[in-house]
Structure 1
Amino acid sequence: MHSLDERCLRYLAEAIGCGSVRAAADKLNVNASAVSRQLAQMEVQLATPLIERHPRGVRATPAGSLLLDYYRRQTSDREDILAKLTDLRGLRRGHIDVVLGEGFVGDLMSGLLQGFWARHPDLTMTLDLAATNDVVRRVVEDEAHLGLVYNPPPEPRLRTHLAMPHPIRLLVRADHPLAAQFPAPSAGPVRLADLAGHRLGTMHPAYGIRQIIAAAERAEGVRLDPSLITGSIGVLKQFVVSGTGVTLLPAFCAAQEVTDGILVALPLADPGLDGVEARIVTRLGRQLSPAAGTLLQHLARGMAAEGRGRVG
């Protein structure tokens, strides 16, 4: 029988996660030689290689990936047990990791988080912004308790707790020619081909928004040629507000600017741009900590009460 040393498993996880033994050692504040020695000893003990070294660092072998999954499950289970003990003390302590797309920031900060902290003032939270694919990865790998994600790709390891319809719209400044050309709803929806000749800004292809638009381009047989590609919704909104160009985003991303009359959200003709959803997700099978479970229930209730979603 072989034993699995938790310190060695942590060294392995950090080496794989950081991409190199030296980077892992720096993060752990130990000597790189100590990390290498422990990994080598574990490979000897288990009689199988755990990492592959290449010019740009290290990556996991199949055996290393198996151990990494085991370590993540162990860490997650330990966190859940400790959090349940905290729950017995009335949620007086606890931390929640949330990863989300930038477009959700306005929703959270418009009152949902204030209401949560009013009831649970001692809980703390990390909010990290990420692209769609990275939100999914971090939730699946237990790096975050909850994910708020737009148009996630099919992933059997995800559980959807709330799905919110958020169709993509053409956002233009109120005085832009397209706003006059397509006064909704009399002129009908805008086709992607109608954007020819107008400077366009889009999200990076790693984001769900851009992936949906790419599918609409194929369906309509057009090819958009964006002047600006970015990973920031804030940059795109400023791009439009300044009059520099137009963009394609879910209307909720610019709800305040539309309400203030600065921007106009025009419907688009492609039905694929209407039937998309934003979701609150967790890893399937994960037992959330009491703090994370409480936040999940709070967000789901708050968004569903506003008529913006269906509970999964």
Structure 2
Amino acid sequence: MSRFVFSRFARYFEEVARLGSIRRAAEELNVSASAIDRQLLLAEEEFGVALFERLPRGVRLTAAGEILIYGFRRWQQDLSRIKFEIEELRGLRRGEVKLAVVEEATFDFVPNALASFMQDHPRINLHVTVAEPDRIRQLVLDGQADFGLAFDPQVTPALRIERQARFRFGALVPRDHKLAGQREISFSHCAQYPLIIPDSIGYLREAIEKLALRAKVLLKPMLTANNLSFIRLMVAQGRGIGFVTSLGAEADAKAPGFSYAELSDRGISPASLTLFAAAERQLSAASILALRYFAVYFDDLDRLTARRR
């Protein structure tokens, strides 16, 4: 059918079905009857069934023809909706995009991904919710967020994965610390000093606990907090070593209060930053466009990472 939907056949077929006559359709469309008949015969050959009954005084749709005309009309309705949404993207109408993201992505990733989108589409309103991975997943499934960005969300058939990128774990070390300036460092080495870690069960806390277990270190943090911005501030003040993924490693390396060092420990799987949407939900044109900007940013980041390996 795809060969015919965007061809002249669609116009011929619908007009013949409407008028019940090839001759009258030819007059209406200002083409020859033989040209219309030829298109109909080609379509019937491809489908392998007759689309019209040839009657003494015209034609009548067969059961297969009825199915096809229904499909055409539904396609036309979809096309009208698509045209409307494309107009929205051209800035003729306002739109709204709701996204839910993990906190660690807000330091560098999300602002960079949104910068060009906001510049190109200033009339589309954005609403960003920062939450834990499980909450992000639920917001997407409930329709309260158009798409989500989270580390290692629980994947089910209800979610459609758009992009993924893997990030290793690293340490944030105060600038004036003995360990500052190292490119790599082991968790057991970090554990000899005061630690500042997340207090909630999530991708980062789980990784830290696995690292402690493998290093045979009793985890006794000096400070726990449920906010990564606060943890970064405390590290910058020299109160301890924190842990993050390599997601914002470049920005962390340039930060005035601390340096970033990748953890040298092996056997811990990298965290997968995942861009996802609800599998069965139809997104608005504005949300589809925003999702595309994020996908392109993922692809660019992947190419950049590949060149550095």
Name the TM tier (shorter chain).
0.5 to 0.7
Closer, same or farther: CA 275–197 of 1 in aligned 2, 3 Å = closer
The higher radius of gyration belongs to 2
Residue 151 of structure 1 and its aligned partner are, at CA, apart by: 2.4
Kept in 1: contact 2:88–2:95 (CA 8 A): no
Q: Which residue of 1 aligns with 2:167?
A: 166
Distance in 2 of aligned mates of 1:257 and 1:218? 26
TM-score by length of 1: 0.64
CA deviation map 1:155-178 (0-9, x unaligned): 442222111122110110122112
Residue 162 of structure 1 aligns to a residue whose secondary structure is strand
Report % sequence identity.
Answer: 21
In structure 2, what residue type is equivalent to 1:176?
Answer: H
Residue 204 of structure 1 and its aligned partner are, at CA, apart by: 2.9
Kept in 2: contact 1:98–1:147 (CA 8 A): yes
Distance in 2 of aligned mates of 1:309 and 1:247? 24
Q: Which residue of 2 aligns with 1:275?
A: 270
Residue 260 of structure 1 and its aligned partner are, at CA, apart by: 4.3
Residue 207 of structure 1 and its aligned partner are, at CA, apart by: 2.7
Q: Which residue of 2 aligns with 1:101?
A: 102
Q: Which residue of 2 aligns with 1:90?
A: 88
Distance in 2 of aligned mates of 1:295 and 1:309? 23
Residue 266 of structure 1 and its aligned partner are, at CA, apart by: 1.8
Residue pairs, 1:255-270, within 5 angstroms: 255-260=250-255, 262-270=257-265
2:226 is the counterpart of 1:199: no
Q: Which residue of 1 aligns with 2:297?
A: 302
Residue 179 of structure 1 and its aligned partner are, at CA, apart by: 2.6
Distance in 2 of aligned mates of 1:263 and 1:237? 8
Kept in 1: contact 2:191–2:217 (CA 8 A): no
Closer, same or farther: CA 309–287 of 1 in aligned 2, 3 Å = farther
Residue pairs, 1:208-219, within 5 angstroms: 208-219=203-214
Q: Which residue of 1 aligns with 2:15?
A: none
Closer, same or farther: CA 117–300 of 1 in aligned 2, 3 Å = same
Residue 139 of structure 1 aligns to a residue whose secondary structure is helix
Residue 262 of structure 1 and its aligned partner are, at CA, apart by: 3.9
Distance in 1 of aligned mates of 2:183 and 2:118? 40
Residue 263 of structure 2 aligns to a residue whose secondary structure is coil
Distance in 1 of aligned mates of 2:272 and 2:257? 25
TM-score by length of 2: 0.64
Distance in 2 of aligned mates of 1:217 and 1:158? 32
Q: Which residue of 1 aligns with 2:243?
A: 248
Residue pairs, 1:119-268, within 5 angstroms: 119-179=120-180, 183-184=182-183, 189-190=185-186, 192-253=187-248, 255-260=250-255, 262-268=257-263
Kept in 2: contact 1:83–1:94 (CA 8 A): no
Closer, same or farther: CA 304–136 of 1 in aligned 2, 3 Å = same
Distance in 1 of aligned mates of 2:79 and 2:237? 51
Q: Which residue of 1 aligns with 2:55?
A: none
In structure 1, what residue type is equivalent to 2:225?
Answer: T
Residue 95 of structure 1 and its aligned partner are, at CA, apart by: 0.9
Distance in 2 of aligned mates of 1:217 and 1:140? 34
Kept in 1: contact 2:237–2:257 (CA 8 A): no
Aligned residues: 225
The range that moved more, 94-103 or 215-224, is: 215-224
The range that moved more, 226-235 or 289-298, is: 226-235
